A and B are shown apart, each in its own frame.
Chain A
């Protein structure tokens, strides 16, 4: 089966494009999925912005995941919903695209991205430039056939240690083969940055479950992710080390620092930080 533009693509249609400025589009979450994590809604916004950026530089370069200043998780999304996507480009050139964007489902804002920056890389290093152009034309015209996405592979985090309520550590072996690598990207398979952050959020949620709650509160809610930074491409088969640390905690808010490292013998300490972010937790209204 051809996986290109199927296994990890989250824009079905581009509904408007103001060159170098603004783009809107949509994506129908396949109804047969078990779930659709918020990180994939963020990916959809990033991909929409990427189409606007690529069209601005005549498809010579494409952005890859780099920075996200702030991601607000506003509401959960469900399979079968249609995401209405938008992105505002602050700047775009051959080196980087800066944008903000959001997604709505059933008229409700579900996620908001601010101050995102994607470093631009040559399209031809990652994909067939003509195939990318053809896809853009399709998205701007009749649109792609929905329901192509079959879900992401299970990426099991294996806990390796920690200190209850203070920190958690885990490792993850990135699969050597997975359908998503046929789409992300055909000429250079790499683990999508949003899946790296998804794994970080899983660990953050596990740590949050261990942090004592204020009296009368049921749970910590993961609401905002700050200062997301992705430093390196993660190839298939890479072994990654994850760590989530409780940085601050007051009555009804907590801040976690999450970090991902790869093993790199050429560096002092034998490890390289490949991703980092801060996660803001807060409680629901308590009794």
Chain B
């Protein structure tokens, strides 16, 4: 399955954005106004690895969803095997195409080639996390709907 963002609309993103921005601002101890939708977490907001953990756990509490660690990269990989996705920590051409599709909110010029798997989080923007929240909200709703009553 090729990961797609088509099903996530701009309206959905804008609906969760204020709460995502406020949550990220709390985690990064900055003003919410600074957390723009297209802001890069690392390059624009100065986030470090511990901040990513902080943001994920705060989003889980704020939106009452579960966000498995490594979820973004895992979802970006889709049905590619690990060896198809990266070789020795460097994203393959097929993997890079998947990442570009999945992180459609990231301007094309920000994708480096070769791209190290460890550097994928450098691409994440506020919108990336809005999309994670929306996907996990849908997953939670779908799991609830499939529960026997």
- Chain A residues with CB under 8 Å of chain B are 66-67, 91, 93-96, 98, 115, 117, 119, 227, 229-231, 276
Check B29 against A67 for contact (C-beta < 8 Å): no
Chain B stretch 15-45: residues in CB contact (< 8 A) with chain A:
26, 29
Q: What is the size, in residues, of chain B's interface with A at 8 Å between Cβ atoms?
A: 14
Q: Is B53 part of the binding interface, using a Cβ–Cβ cutoff of 8 Å?
A: yes
Q: Is B100 part of the binding interface, using a Cβ–Cβ cutoff of 8 Å?
A: no
Chain B stretch 48-62: residues in CB contact (< 8 A) with chain A:
48-51, 53-54, 57, 61
Check B54 against A67 for contact (C-beta < 8 Å): yes
Chain B residues touching A, majority SS: helix
* Distance of B84 from chain A, by nearest CB (Å): 22
Chain A residues closer than 8 Å to B48, beta-carbon distance: 231
Identify the interface centre among B50, B61, B66: most chain A CB within 10 Å of its CB.
Answer: B50
Check A230 against B69 for contact (C-beta < 8 Å): no
Q: Is B144 part of the binding interface, using a Cβ–Cβ cutoff of 8 Å?
A: no
Whole-angstrom CA separation of A66 from B48 in the bound complex: 12
Known: A93-B69, A96-B69, A276-B29. A230 touches B50 (CB 8 A): yes
Sample of 14 more A-B contacts, CB < 8 Å, known A67-B53, A91-B66, A95-B53: A66-B53, A67-B50, A93-B69, A95-B70, A96-B57, A96-B69, A98-B57, A115-B57, A115-B61, A117-B54, A227-B26, A230-B50, A231-B48, A276-B29
Check A67 against B57 for contact (C-beta < 8 Å): yes
Chain B residues closer than 8 Å to A95, beta-carbon distance: 53, 69-70
**Chain B residue at minimum C-beta to C-beta distance from A116:** B57
From B26, B29, B50, B61, A66 is in contact (CB under 8 Å) with: B50
**Chain B residue at minimum C-beta to C-beta distance from A66:** B50
Whole-angstrom CA separation of A119 from B69 in the bound complex: 11
Whole-angstrom CA separation of A91 from B67 in the bound complex: 11
Whole-angstrom CA separation of A98 from B53 in the bound complex: 10
A-B complex: 9 closest residue pairs judged by Cβ atoms: A95-B69, A231-B50, A117-B57, A67-B54, A96-B53, A117-B53, A66-B50, A93-B69, A231-B48
**Chain B residue at minimum C-beta to C-beta distance from A259:** B29
**Chain A residue at minimum C-beta to C-beta distance from B49:** A119
Whole-angstrom CA separation of A96 from B69 in the bound complex: 8
* Distance of A200 from chain B, by nearest CB (Å): 15
Chain B residues closer than 8 Å to A91, beta-carbon distance: 66
**Chain A residue at minimum C-beta to C-beta distance from B26:** A227
* Distance of A3 from chain B, by nearest CB (Å): 28
* Distance of A50 from chain B, by nearest CB (Å): 16
* Distance of A130 from chain B, by nearest CB (Å): 27
Chain B residues closer than 8 Å to A115, beta-carbon distance: 57, 61
* Distance of A49 from chain B, by nearest CB (Å): 14
Chain B residues closer than 8 Å to A231, beta-carbon distance: 48, 50
From A94, A98, A119, B50 is in contact (CB under 8 Å) with: A119
**Chain B residue at minimum C-beta to C-beta distance from A276:** B29
Whole-angstrom CA separation of A67 from B29 in the bound complex: 14
Chain A residues closer than 8 Å to B54, beta-carbon distance: 67, 117, 229
* Distance of A99 from chain B, by nearest CB (Å): 11
